[in-house]
Structure 1
Amino acid sequence: MRAVENHIAASFGAFENVLHEAESPDIHIDLCMVPPTEDRPYWTLVTMGMGAYRMNIPRELAAYHLERAELAICLPPEWKLDPASLREERWYWPVRLLKSLARLPISEDTWLGWGHTTDNQEPFAPGTDLCAAILVAPPQLEDGQERCTLPGGETVNFYQVIPLYRSELNYKLAHDADTLLNRMDWVSFVVDPARPDATTVDPPAWDHPVLDDAQMHLESIHEKALLVDEVAVFNHMAIYLRWCIEHGLMSTVFAEDYAAVIHRLREDPAHTDLRGFIRDKLAGQLLLNFFSPEGAAFSAFYYAGEDPSYPEDIDAHALDYFGPERYVSEEFQNEAYLFVPYDEAYYQAMAQVIQSRWDRWAQEIASDAALSGSSN
């Protein structure tokens, strides 16, 4: 148990409070309560004790060491987890869900693993239509952290619990887990009792999914024989990507695929250079489908927009940095933005600009929604 406790603290985050089980019909299952932090602004509840039971794994899967498991669920930072609030089902249901799932392999002589779904038959609580769940790899962990090796050599596997709607469960049963998760790639792993249904609301579709392509900027360097390191073409792209990651605007698939990079950025943002990541892992491109629906909508408005325009804001910063005379000099040949030093000061300056553009956009969205509501 100590090995599992240490692994939870090292992987999911430090915790002081544990929701102890007063009575246990079989194995003893506690819940580690990892509080929200700046890097991970959400609660994480992780079972501790489910792994004491060896699940009945199919013989053909024995080589994968799936017999032991623990479960996690993430909740918004405002979720109430004090003893008084947990007497109300609207706050308690994620706890109940974890405990019922943790005991399912015992009561049903079965096993749980990636892509498995369970059906609660009815909504988990008043105020939500979520009524089922799917297990996935914890997207917030780095590679390898989803497994804990016990002192005796056995493995405990950690899975993230994502609550589902009835139609999402049916969609998975009609297709498969991968197909459902692809459709849900914009759904956050943090529970939202009122989130849109992934089977009835499509992610935004865009005519031009490529926001930016480094190849275009590289061509300018080559054609104009600019005396600048080619990695500079990724400077402005890395700044925008970092800001969006730090503000939780990436799609679930992106967050899962690049969890290690995101974790590294959150741990040490000033020393995490995303330029090589964009070049090597993202093929030098920023695509709209890297972002959540909200992030994609903002990016279409700002990065690919005309007023305001992220590229124009980058140019304006270069003008301010170098001054008017040097900005238009033969040295830069209308590409001054490539010569701005890529450092923390550059990021912080542009982060303020992006934030102001975000605030304007969010205000316009809110105003439009208010007008729409008043007209109905």
Structure 2
Amino acid sequence: MQSVGAHIEKYFGKYDRVMHELASPGIHVDIYVIPPRAEHEYYTLVTCGMGAHKMEVPDELKNEQLERAELLINLPADWQLDEESLKDEKWYWPIRFLKFMARSPVNNGMYYDWGSTLEFDDITSFDDSTKLCSAVVLSPGVFGEASYACTLPNGDAVNFYQAIPLYKEELDYKVENGMDKLLQKCPDEILEVINPSRLNAVTDAETLNYDDREMDSAAAHLKLIQKHNLSVDEMAVYNHMVVYLRWCINHNLMGDVFLQQQGDVVSGVKSGSLTDLRAFVRDELGGRLMIIDYNHKGVCFANWYNTGNRSMPYAFIKDLKTYAREYFKGQMPCAEEAAYLLLPWCDEYCRAVEKIIEERFAEWQKLCGEENAVQPFIDESNFKELLPDWQGARHCRISKRIIKDGCTVGFCCREEPDSDDTGWDSGWYFDAGDEDEVYAGEDAEYGIYDLNTICNLYPELLPLLNSPYGTAFERNKRGRLVEIKDEEE
């Protein structure tokens, strides 16, 4: 219990009270109540005691240490949690929901893992005040990866999951399409804090107009200006976006499509003749930074630092808010959440923000850079440009059996890339064909390369490159690459 309590305080926040159970059917579950704080402006309620019970985990998952877990929920800052209010089911249902979730493994012989869902029998909603009626558990990404588990003195792991209420349509969509597909439809605010009347990610998708490829949007910052009635030029919403974009251009993190479409801008930034890109971001990019505009390294860094992902959420904005506190020396000219919008647009500002990004990039490289690094293995200096008219993403994955070991392309296929990667990933994979044997069932090792690289090595691939997604070729006994046809064909 002490280890769990210490973990809760370290990663989720200091609790100011504990909801102790007077009667405990099955297992004793207390709830630690963490009040709203600067970095998380909402209540966080975390169970303590659920992890004393070992859940029944399938034998094939025994090594994953999934047996013990605790759950948490986030509630709005104005949620009524006093004793009198909790007599009303309107305010109490999230606590009932959390306790039910905590006891389900004991009562139903089940276990929780990332993406586990729970359907509540015989109810159409948790309360008359909401139509939410089911749940999913996910890692509590908004608190950082270190919060996901704590280790007990005996070496057992206790995993922490965020319990998120869902609408029936969202549960059905998840069951049919998978959790990843549902997450692509869910803005972070749907997941972070319980809102009994929130929009439905499935039935209200058109109203939400959510695009999971969006890294940053001027519209969100403009709302802060309007919310706090700030006396500031609306161009201020683009300041930090421009510094980030400019830094990425100068550090070669932009994708193929962006480079093809915005070559003049890239040249201007790199030459130093173009510094103020605010009008460009507003007019040409629609006031948004999109992850599809970056290359493989740029996407990986952005997913770690500058998108609404659930492992490092909005760290760039958090860094800007910290810089604003330091700049204004504690004498905030407005609400803290919006002070970064009042930072003056000038060379000093740009240099300071660039330094912040530079330091984060170095941190990312230290933590994650090795796995995302491109290992050239070959000298491309004498390669010819064989794709001068190629439009669109022009990078691919090439097996190290080809690039490093010098094997011939024995198999290649084109798969539709993830939505984040459409700015650089052509979808092509090139294998030697013997990877299963060489890697003995382990995942084959690939490097990210320009299509021009593989075509210089094997010009015979040039006529194949425009093949549609889902196409595959293998080398036959005569040494030619031939298309693999479905048996039905």
Q: TM-score, length-normalised on structure 2?
A: 0.49
CA contact (8 A) 1:20 1:29 kept: yes
Determine the structure 2 residue equivalent to 1:194. 197
Which whole-Å CA distance do the structure 2 matches of 1:9 and 1:118 have between them? 28
Partner of 1:165: 167
Aligned residue among 204, 212, 230 for 2:209: 204
The letter of the residue matching 2:267 is: E
Local SS of the residue matching 2:163? strand
- CA 1:260–1:53 in 2, change beyond 3 Å: closer, same or farther? farther
Higher relative contact order (CA 8 A, sep 6+): 1
- How far, CA to CA, are the matches of 1:263 and 1:21 in structure 2? 39
Secondary structure at the aligned position of 1:148 is classed as strand
- For the 8 Å contact 1:69–1:158, the answer to whether it is kept is yes
In structure 1, the residue corresponding to 2:175 is in which secondary structure?
A: helix
Pick the aligned partner of 1:258 from 307, 312, 332: 312
Write out aligned runs for 1:274-285 (5 A).
Answer: none
Give the direction of change, closer, same or farther, for the CA distance of 1:209–1:36 in structure 2 (3 Å limit): closer
Matches within 5 A, 1:140-289: 140-186=142-188, 187-202=190-205, 203-204=208-209, 213-214=245-246, 215=249, 219-224=267-272, 254-259=308-313, 261=315, 265=319, 268-269=322-323
CA contact (8 A) 1:29 1:47 kept: yes
Looking at structure 1, the residues matched to 210 and 93 of structure 2 have their Cα atoms a distance apart, in angstroms, of 34
- Deviation readout 1:85-137 (Å, 9 max, x if unpaired): 11111100110011111110111111112111112232101110000111011
- Give 1:27 deviation, angstroms: 1.5
Asked if the contact 2:28–2:49 (Cα under 8 Å) also holds between the matched residues in 1, the reply is yes
Match of 1:28 in 2: 28
Which structure has the larger Rg? Answer: 2
Task: Tell me how far apart the structure 2 counterparts of residues 59 and 176 of structure 1 sit (CA, whole Å).
Answer: 23
Q: Distance in 1 between matches of 2:214 and 2:64?
A: 38
For the residues of structure 2 that align with 1:149 and 1:263, how far apart are their CA atoms?
31
The structure in which a higher percent of residues are helix is 1
The alpha carbon displacement at 1:25 in A equals 1.6
Give the aligned residue type for 2:78. E
Q: Which consecutive residues of structure 2, in runs of 5 or more, have no partner in the other structure?
A: 218-241, 250-261, 282-286, 289-305, 327-340, 357-489
Alignment of 1:5-24 (within 5 A): 5-24=5-24
How many pairs were matched up?
268
Q: CA RMSD in A?
A: 3.6
- For residues 289-368 of structure 1, what are the structure 2 equivalents within 5 Å? 342-343=351-352
TM-score normalized by structure 1?
0.63
In 2: Cα distance, 1:165 partner to 1:105 partner: 22
Find the aligned partners of 2:210 and 2:317 in 1 and give their Cα distance: 29
The answer to whether the aligner puts 1:55 opposite 2:55 as a matched pair is yes
Where 1:134 maps in the other structure, the secondary structure is: strand
- What secondary structure, in the 3-state scheme, does the structure 2 residue paired with 1:140 have? helix
Determine the C-alpha separation between the residues in 2 that align with 1:7 and 1:151.
13
Aligned to 1:282: none
| Structure 2 CA distance for partners of 1:225 and 1:146, relative to 1, 3 Å | same
SS at the partner of 2:308? Answer: helix
Deviation digits for residues 63-106 of structure 1 (CA, Å, limit 9, x no counterpart)? 11000000000000000001111111110011001111111011
